Structure 1
Amino acid sequence: MNDKQKGLLPAIENLFPCAEHRFCVRNIHENFKASFRGKLYKDLLYKCAYATTIPKFETTMDELKAFNQDAHLWFPTFILNTGLRHTSLIVKGRDMPIISALEYIREYLMRRIVNVLEVIDKSEGTNAAHYTVQWNGGDLYQVSGRPGKQRVVNLVKRTCTCRRWELKGIPCEHVVAAIWYEALNGEKVGAVESWVHPVHRMDTWTQVCSFKINPINGKPLWPKSQVPTPLTHPKHNKQVGRPKKARKRSTFELEDLTQCGKLSKKETKGACSKCGSTRHNIRTCKQAR
């Protein structure tokens, strides 16, 4: 379901009043390029989406207005808070029955937790960047890098005028410079990781992955249900052809993939005809002929 369905936004606000609602930039771009196509339009769109401050967002909007005023009028202002991305980690299980799909997800989570724990064991910490810092005698610090690029940091309220600290929860280079400035002047600031939002801390990451996904027996060993009413299978009409795994591409994406009436090889993975690997082709294959 997309944002064109009337009533979706009010329903989300009613059911989840405290949840933050964001928009997918890729979907916005799909609607945007219906009227304005080209790489320059796309670059300006994503530049607006990645803006962390209102002045930077307005500067990018002025660039779009100078480039095309009609595109500027179409452009939605709510994209300032967007920046989501979609994932395709469960593409292999999309065409499976519900039980098989859940089993695929469970096994994937088991492998993922193990991989995350290995990364945690190898993690040691972060490095601080050094900027020129000036203290105002109170809670504020002026952090300067390049000329005219200084930012104001408030370590008490945990804010920075670049807004990356508030948006991501991770101290930006300006905040790290202010923290090290306090440390060099004898203040007890603790570890840099203590200034990170708890959701990004190593102990929180470890706690999330502490809940293991347990293996289970095969279907013949599953306990019998004690529900007196049997659950019948839903009526299913088998469609013609092989079930689709990949998402449906829009008309504009299909047009971009075709050139001169032939299907383009863009975004496709080729394989070596000798060994079948997707990392090289037959010309660079090192296996014996």
Structure 2
Amino acid sequence: MYPFAWAIVNVENKDNWAWFIRNIKANSENIGDGQGFTVISDRQKGLLNVVERELPKFPCQSEMKGLFWRVAESYILSEYEANLERVKAYDMRLYDAIMQRNPQNCSLAFCKPTTSCVDVHNNLSELFNNAIDPSRYFPMVEMLEIIRRRTMQRIELRMKKACLHRGRFTKRAATFIAEEQESLKYTKYVSGSAQSRCEVLDCGKSVSLHMGMHTCACRKWEMSGLPCRHALRVIAEKKLNHEDY
């Protein structure tokens, strides 16, 4: 996370958000009309609030949360619809509570892959909000100075950590790959072609992918920017280096 813009407004409304975004566009070279960027906000908090409010009515909270996150973390439309059906079968009240806030707004199945972002929550920004929260009780100018200093300290600390890191990619990327590799036992390489098109069986179901374009029918590769288990199966079969993908 690299904080670079913040503002004080009297209220969070349409006009103030429009003013904020216009300023970001005016001071950033690459944003343009927003193509290739993902906006993560707390507008969908209402959905979580509804679910939390409904929690006491459901017999198993952990199971209910798992069903919700399956919907949010669905990469393809068929997976999204199947997970919604599981919610409906579990409890129609839960299904209605989720549908009130349109889960398409927070499901990966409806996100574009151009940003390689698979975050379906705004925990990153909430952590930053918590870090600067004490400054909000100071006079305005002093508050802004405290936020500025803390932001600079945060950036410097993370720059030092980054400089100490050894390896081509981040620890988060390594964790993602490790989790996908655990699922390789359910996959089987079927065939490949000179055009980099390949086929892999996943629990008996055929999945097609294109190694050259870094795409897979599961959408996980293009959504995350990191090889999914199907790509890793091909990479292992051809004795390639997954870091090159």
Alignment TM-score > 0.5, same fold: yes
In structure 1, give the amino acid aligned to 2:49. E
What stretches of structure 2 of length at least 5 have no aligned partner? 1-10, 26-32, 109-118, 169-173
Among 197, 200, 204, which residue is 1:140 paired with? 197
**1:153 deviation in Å?**
2.2
CA deviation profile, 1:185-214 (whole Å, cap 9, x unmatched): xxxxxx64453xxxxxxxxxxxxxxxxxxx
Percent identity of equivalent pairs: 19
CA deviation profile, 1:39-94 (whole Å, cap 9, x unmatched): 24433222211222222221211111112234424412413247122322212222
- In the alignment, what sits opposite 2:78? 55
Flag the 1:182–1:109 CA change in 2: closer, same or farther, 3 A: farther
TM-score (norm 1): 0.50
> In the TM superposition, what are the counterparts of 1:66-215 in structure 2 within 5 Å?
66-74=89-97, 75=99, 76-78=102-104, 79-81=106-108, 83-85=120-122, 86-87=126-127, 88-120=130-162, 121-125=164-168, 126=174, 129=181, 132-137=188-193, 138-144=195-201, 147-148=203-204, 151-184=207-240, 192-195=242-245
Flag the 1:21–1:115 CA change in 2: closer, same or farther, 3 A: closer
**1:116 deviation in Å?**
2.3
What is the alpha-carbon distance in structure 2 between the residues aligned to residue 100 and residue 182 of structure 1?
59
In structure 2, give the amino acid aligned to 1:30. N
In structure 2, give the amino acid aligned to 1:110. M
Would the aligned equivalents of 2:72 and 2:103 in 1 still touch at CA under 8 Å?
no
Would the aligned equivalents of 1:44 and 1:64 in 2 still touch at CA under 8 Å?
yes
What stretches of structure 1 of length at least 5 have no aligned partner? 185-190, 196-289
- In the alignment, what sits opposite 1:235? none
Larger Rg: 1
Aligned residues between the structures: 183
What is the alpha-carbon distance in structure 2 between the residues aligned to residue 20 and residue 164 of structure 1?
16
What is the alpha-carbon distance in structure 1 between the residues aligned to residue 166 and residue 229 of structure 2?
20
> In the TM superposition, what are the counterparts of 1:233-272 in structure 2 within 5 Å?
none
What is the alpha-carbon distance in structure 1 between the residues aligned to residue 142 and residue 242 of structure 2?
44
CA deviation profile, 1:102-122 (whole Å, cap 9, x unmatched): 332333233333332333323
**1:30 deviation in Å?**
0.4
**1:23 deviation in Å?**
5.8
What is the alpha-carbon distance in structure 2 between the residues aligned to residue 101 and residue 161 of structure 1?
49
Flag the 1:97–1:23 CA change in 2: closer, same or farther, 3 A: closer
Would the aligned equivalents of 2:209 and 2:216 in 1 still touch at CA under 8 Å?
yes
Between structures 1 and 2, the one with greater helix share: 2
Flag the 1:97–1:144 CA change in 2: closer, same or farther, 3 A: farther
SS of 2:199's equivalent in the other structure is: strand
Are residues 1:42 and 2:59 paired? no
Would the aligned equivalents of 1:165 and 1:171 in 2 still touch at CA under 8 Å?
yes
What is the alpha-carbon distance in structure 2 between the residues aligned to residue 113 and residue 20 of structure 1?
22
TM-score (norm 2): 0.57
